[in-house]
Structure formats: C-alpha cells, structure tokens
Amino acid sequence: MSKIHIVYATDYNYILLCCVSISSLLKSKAKEDVYEIHILTDGSIQEEGRRMFSLLEKKHDGVSFCFHTLDGGEYKKIDYKGRHYNQMTYYRFFLPDLLEDIDECIYLDCDTLVCSDISEMLSYDISDAYMGVVWDCDIDKVVYPNFGNLDLNKYFNAGVLYLNLRKLREDKMLDCFSAQVGKDWYFNDQDILNYCCKDKVVYMEEKFNQFSYKVLPTETPVVMHFLGEKGMRPWVYKYANGCDQWWKEAELFSDFNEYKVCKREADQKHKNSSYAYLIHQCRIYENVYIFGGGFYGRKLYQKLKRNHVENMRAFLDNKTGNTGKTIEGYSFVTIDEVDQTKDNLYIIAVGSEATRNKILEQLRSLDIQEEAIIPFEERLSEEYYYMDPKYLPQEKEEYFLGEFGSGTERLGWKW
C-alpha cells in the first residue's frame, strides 16, 4: 500500500499527549501499511521530546517522522483573538504548501487516542471536497457569541480531518484562511475552517472523531477525542472516560520526565478534590484552617462539620473588613495572626482556581510547608457525567461523604 501521511501539531507543552496519541496510532495500524508522521512545531521541542519520538520510531516498523519547524516568517504573523487554542493550531492552514508533493493526509489533534486502524478513513471519496470531517454533536450546547455565517447543523469539529491537500492548493484556500485570522471567532481556526470550507466537505461517521465521554464500554471508536471541559481529560482528571486506555498507552514513556510530572500532577489533583482524603488529613492535623470565608469556604465548612471534623480553628481571610466576624463561633483571622511555626498546621485553600493559586503563592512566600497546604477543588457535577462508568460507585461514595457525611473507613481507601 502507498504511504499514509499523518500530521500532528505540537509544542513542548503537549509533547506527552502527542506521543501518546501517536503510540496508539501505531499500535492500531495494519502491519503492511507505511506511515510518515509529520510533526508541525515551533522549535520548542527539546532533547527529551526528540527521544520520545525516537522511541516510537524504534518500537514500530513501517513508520518515519518528518519535523517541520514553523518559527519565523509568515508563520509568526498569525494574530489570533479567540479562545481555547494557542498559535500552534493555526499551523495546519499551511499544510497544502508545506506538503506540496502530497495530495492527501490525515490530521489529528494531540488530545486523541486511536483505537482501531485509521486507514479505514481512506475509504471516503474526498476528490471533490476540501476535507473529510465529523459533525460536532456538541456545538449546540455552547453559548456561542458569534455565529457569523456558520450553520451549526453542518458545523464540524476540526480535531480529526482527512485533508485533500491537492484541492486546497488548487483553490488557494490559504488566502481565505489568512483573511479570517485575527477576526473575532470564538473557536479560532476551527471556526475559520468551517467558514471557508462550508459545503465543500464530506461528512464521515462519528466513530472517526468520537468525543470521549460519549464512548460506551461496548464501543470501539476509530478515534477517541478528549476535548472540552477538563473533566474529560484523563491527564487532568484520572477517572475521565477512557482514562485507563490513555494511561496504559502513556506508560510507554514512564521513564521520561514529561510522564512523571503529568502523573504526579494528576494524582495530586485527584487527592485535592477528594473528600475522603481531605477528611483523613483534617483528622491527622490538630490545627485546621479554611482560607476563604466566602461561598466556597462556608460550603466546605458545612461538609467538614457533617463529617465531625472538630479541630478547625478559624477562617483565614485577607479582607480586613471581615476581622471580628464569625461563622458558628469560628472567627475570621488573617494569616499574620496564625502561629505559623505551630506543629500540625493544615490550611485548606478554597475558591476559584485563580483564587486558590493566589492563596498558594501567598502561603509559599511565607515558607509554609507544602504538605501543610491543600488547594481543595470541589468536583463539578458535570465531571460525573464525563466519568468512566466503572468508577461511578466509588465516586458516589465520595459524593455522599461530602453531602451527607459518613465515616471515611467505609470507602476502604488508605492514603
């Protein structure tokens, strides 16, 4: 069979995700197929990243890599104003010219997992179209500020594309793409592709770009796409649907620092949203403080109270106007009023992510030990919707623990 060209775009921040997706791609390919994988990058991939790609090339037959560094000239002129994406996602606009001797290729986002042979996609006839796409089944759920001329009934997700590079070149579509860059599109390059290529696409089956939270245990999509809210992404939320497959694939890179950092952060984030862990910690430490006396702090206090946490000392707050106020007998105090040298000090930072980060920065500047701080992040209700079904019973216990209180021993977890 002729060579199949696959394209990814990544900078160093997404190198692990990119390599995990490629690893799944290569495991799923037919033995007789030959893949040339093109990596669009900005030049930020360092030595460790190169070694990760090299590992993939050595582990699999019939694969080669070609790196395209787009770090200057017209590539730097991209001026984007939208949300959600960085400049790397625009680089695929240049693919028809970059791969000037290639007629067709498959583009994949880094946050994908290939579950079966992607060459099945090549059965679609795109000779008169710009690309093969999958309709975005969730676009109607977005509070969309700028529909422009987009028809949401035909709106496609741009995370998986079967590109007709020949026709894109012939019709000089880069001119259309470039003219739209910098305008107030909400989903940036995805909106631009929908705007410029409307009515010139072939719609493929959903299995070629199936959103991860929609994949049932009995299904095997061709491509699973971990897009959207953070709760859908297993490298952020350990119990996201498809998490076991993703982490199993990621284990190939367990000797690399990128994997170790990602795993450590995912483990810590899981602990930081666990009532069982929090209550366990509160029962170990003698002096517990909730940093934040607003909505989040009061809500958390009620949950601790329901679980008979009796060693809370006060609410911490930077607002001097709250000094002297109390909640059920617990005073508002500033961090300066706390004996920071006291043993068994435990501070729970609550609030929005931005608020928690500010609190963490403040506490670290005071040299308070990391193990004495937990940035608690209450799990969002939609995260249960995106969860791998097999973890629901365990997470249901977590939910009831926070809402109604119980002994953590019934969860059977040891921290």
Residue 415 in this model has a pLDDT that exceeds 50: no
42-57 average pLDDT score:
94
Tell the residue number behind the tokens 């770090």, with chain if given: 71
In this structure, how many other beta carbons lie within 10 angstroms of the beta carbon of residue 378?
15
Of 342, 285, 328, the closest CA to residue 309 belongs to 285
Most confident of 103-117, 208-222, 354-368: 103-117
Q: How far is CA 184 from CA 25, 84, 89, 91, 178, in A?
A: 34, 13, 16, 18, 13
Paired sense of beta strands 326-327 and 330-333, if any: antiparallel
H or E segment to which residue 82 belongs: none
Spell out the domain ranges in the chain.
Answer: 4-228, 274-378
- Point out the least confidently predicted range of 31-45, 81-95, 285-299: 81-95
Residue 271 in this model has a pLDDT that exceeds 50: yes
Confidence grade of residue 181 (pLDDT, cut at 50, 70, 90) = confident
User: Are residues 405 and 307 in contact, defined by beta-carbon separation less than 8 angstroms?
Assistant: yes
The 10s digit of each residue's pLDDT in 63-88 is 999 999 987 665 655 655 555 556 78
- Point out the least confidently predicted range of 119-123, 259-263, 336-340, 345-349: 336-340
The 10s digit of each residue's pLDDT in 303-343 is 999 999 989 999 999 887 787 889 999 999 999 888 876 67
* DSSP string over 154-197: S-EEEEEEEEEHHHHHHTTHHHHHHHHTTS--SSHHHHHHHHHH
Residue 100 in this model has a pLDDT that exceeds 80: yes
374-388 average pLDDT score:
83
Confidence grade of residue 29 (pLDDT, cut at 50, 70, 90) = very high
CATH of domain 274-378: 3.40.50.720
Residue 312, beta-bridge partner list: 288
Query: ∠ CA(55), CA(56), CA(57), 5° rounding?
Result: 95
Sign of the torsion angle spanned by Cα atoms 105, 109, 114, 120: negative
For the domain with range 4-228, which CATH number is right: 3.30.70.890, 3.40.50.450, 3.90.550.10, 3.40.50.300? 3.90.550.10
Residue 408 pLDDT: 46
